[in-house]
């Protein structure tokens, strides 16, 4: 391993043993990185040096920010961290704020100073913050003043977190402005840890995933380069928080890597999102499947002529949602599967290569396979476990679950994402379910998302979640939780109608034998359905 720039070696000391790392692949010319690399230098300093200084980097409701201005603000914050808060390279810094220019500048400031970013979702409560702070032994925090309450509640139980600074606080903001706008970005190793991203908790207790400076740039040089093909004239917009790697890539790192701009808006319910697309003339949208379904219903009310490309990730995109959105917008959604462990998307497609029902192919830079329980490749059409290799991969922070994601034996070197997939004769990967969401009923394998897709094609269904429920006779039965659209009454007649609808659209044995109507589904802040909560009475 190349010499670290980190004085505080906590992160390096808590990487998994090397024999538990996945195999890394750097097959593409653009993935041949130098031994010394700081991702903030690549994304920001290099862009200013190459002549992008006066181009717009960030657009927001209260104004615009050029690359040069963003560099100056990131440098001020880096000076604040080092001079006033005593940050040493390798210290972990909690970042807490909504999607706004200060949050973006904070990410870049920590990278510049050689700290390790730990982004947190704005809605996390004190208990969840405490778990993250103590797991990562976080020493510093930069927090939006409006979000101080839960962090203050967490502080008494966070002995390592000694230095906290709140922006949008008059005294602190004045202090930041007094800091020098010049800061020499630390010369870090490409293999120094740049961020610890915590999984979103769809399956329970979140895990900390560690990513190097090199990984941050690799995510920019794979999916967007091959599937999005952005230019410096593109304007990115979307809903995922910057604390979520889907948002960090799509709304900050990708646009900066290509000299483009990003529109950062703190709250984007469907109507506000469409208004913002029109206001900022956004061209590339990142959001989750549930949002695309909501947008389709109100699309016709807005001028969205600037929008050219839409990316969906975070959870499986039902084909019914894809078609509903395409009918409303004329845009073919670019579906993708990624993972916090892999930092971003590794299977997707360009719009012209879409195949109904399929996620796509492994993008350039990655290799993917569907493996059986013995680690052998499955035949086309056979359900198995999705396995991936590429320039990024899973390195959990001091977590015994590393061996489950990167197993040994015949699966050695692969990242097992926890997804059940099928690969067809044309090499397209087709999502089935999370491996722990496969429902085995009376000997049949039933994928919950397939049943969800059938239900979503019914005009009465706004949202739904499908899980397996223990049953003495069949082992498990298909159980559906359904949110109905307005003016559609719940009741036995609706249940029967939905059951018959599913039988008409997919194999009859897959129909939900039990349906419960609910007002809302349990979701993470990033929009992912928490099926484990549906399985809990």
CA-nearest of 511, 491, 510, 489 to 500 is 511
What's the pLDDT score for residue 178?
92
Q: What are the DSSP calls for 54-90, one per residue?
A: TSEEEEETTEEEEHHHHHHHHHHHHHIIIIIS---TT
pLDDT digits (tens, 9 = 90+) for 388-435: 999 999 999 999 999 999 998 899 999 999 999 999 999 999 988 777
Please state the domain extents for the chain. 217-435, 442-534
Q: What is the CATH number of domain 442-534?
A: 3.30.300.30
Q: Tell me how far apart the alpha carbons of residues 363 and 76 are, in angstroms, rounded to a whole number.
A: 38
- The pTM of the full predicted model, rounded to 2 decimals, is 0.86
Assign 519 to helix, strand or coil: coil
What's the pLDDT score for residue 125?
86
Count of beta carbons in the 10 Å neighbourhood of residue 127: 11
Q: What percent of the chain has pLDDT over 70?
A: 98
Residue with the two structure tokens 């082992």: 475
Q: Tell me how far apart the alpha carbons of residues 107 and 435 are, in angstroms, rounded to a whole number.
A: 34
What parts of the chain have a pLDDT lower than 50? 202-203
CATH class of 217-435: alpha beta
What's the pLDDT score for residue 2?
72
Q: What's the distance, Cα to Cα, between the start and end of the chain in Å?
A: 48
Structure tokens at 35: 């031994």
Give me the half-sphere count of Cα atoms (radius 13 Å) on the Cβ side of residue 34.
9
* 148 to 140, 224, 366: CA distances (angstroms): 14, 35, 40
């Amino acid at each position: 391993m190349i010499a670290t720039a980190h004085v505080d070696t906590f992160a390096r000391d808590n990487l998994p043993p090397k024999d538990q790392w996945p195999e890394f692949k750097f097959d593409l010319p653009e993935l041949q990185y130098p031994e010394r690399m700081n991702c903030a230098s690549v994304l920001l300093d290099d862009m200013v040096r190459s002549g992008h200084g006066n181009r717009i980097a960030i657009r927001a409701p209260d104004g615009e920010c050029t690359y040069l201005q963003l560099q100056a603000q990131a440098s001020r914050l880096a000076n604040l961290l080092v001079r006033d808060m005593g940050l040493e390279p390798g210290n972990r810094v909690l970042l807490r704020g909504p999607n706004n220019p200060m949050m973006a500048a904070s990410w870049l400031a920590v990278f510049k100073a050689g700290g390790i970013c730990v982004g947190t979702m704005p809605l996390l409560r004190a208990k969840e913050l405490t778990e993250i702070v103590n797991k990562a032994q976080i020493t510093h925090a930069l927090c939006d003043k409006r979000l101080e309450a839960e962090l203050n509640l967490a502080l008494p139980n966070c002995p390592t977190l000694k230095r906290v600074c709140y922006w949008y606080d008059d005294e602190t903001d004045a202090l930041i402005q007094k800091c020098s706008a010049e800061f020499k970005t630390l010369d870090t190793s490409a293999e120094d840890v740049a961020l610890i991203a915590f999984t979103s908790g769809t399956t329970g207790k979140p895990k900390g995933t560690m990513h190097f400076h090199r990984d941050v740039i690799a995510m920019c040089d794979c999916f967007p380069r091959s599937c999005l093909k952005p230019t410096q004239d593109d304007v990115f917009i979307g809903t995922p928080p910057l604390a979520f790697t889907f948002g960090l890539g799509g709304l900050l790192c990708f646009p900066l890597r290509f000299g483009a701009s990003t529109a950062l808006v703190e709250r984007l319910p469907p109507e506000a999102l469409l208004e913002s697309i029109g206001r900022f003339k956004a061209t590339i949208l990142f959001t989750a499947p549930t949002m695309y379904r909501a947008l389709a219903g109100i699309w016709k009310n807005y001028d969205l002529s600037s929008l050219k490309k839409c990316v969906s990730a975070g959870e499986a995109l039902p084909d019914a949602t894809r078609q509903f959105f395409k009918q409303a917008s004329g845009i073919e959604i670019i579906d993708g599967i990624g993972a916090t462990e892999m930092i971003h998307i590794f299977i997707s497609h360009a719009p012209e290569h879409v195949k109904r029902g399929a996620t796509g192919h492994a993008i350039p830079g990655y290799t993917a396979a569907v493996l059986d329980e013995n680690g052998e490749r499955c035949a086309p059409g056979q359900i198995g476990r999705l396995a991936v290799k590429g320039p990024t991969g899973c390195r959990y922070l001091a977590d015994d679950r590393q061996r489950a994601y990167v197993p040994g034996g015949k699966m050695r070197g692969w990242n097992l994402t926890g997804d059940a997939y099928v690969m067809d004769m044309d090499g397209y990967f087709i999502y089935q379910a999370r491996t722990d969401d496969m429902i085995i009923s009376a000997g049949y394998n039933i994928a919950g998302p397939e049943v969800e897709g059938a239900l979503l094609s019914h005009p009465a269904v706004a949202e739904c979640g499908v899980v397996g429920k223990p049953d003495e006779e069949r082992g498990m039965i298909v159980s559906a939780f359904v949110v109905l659209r307005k003016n559609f009454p719940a009741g036995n007649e609706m249940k029967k109608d939905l059951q018959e609808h599913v039988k008409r659209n997919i194999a009859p044995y897959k129909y939900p034998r039990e349906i419960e109507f609910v007002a809302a589904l349990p979701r993470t802040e990033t929009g992912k359905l928490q099926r484990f909560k549906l399985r809990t009475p």
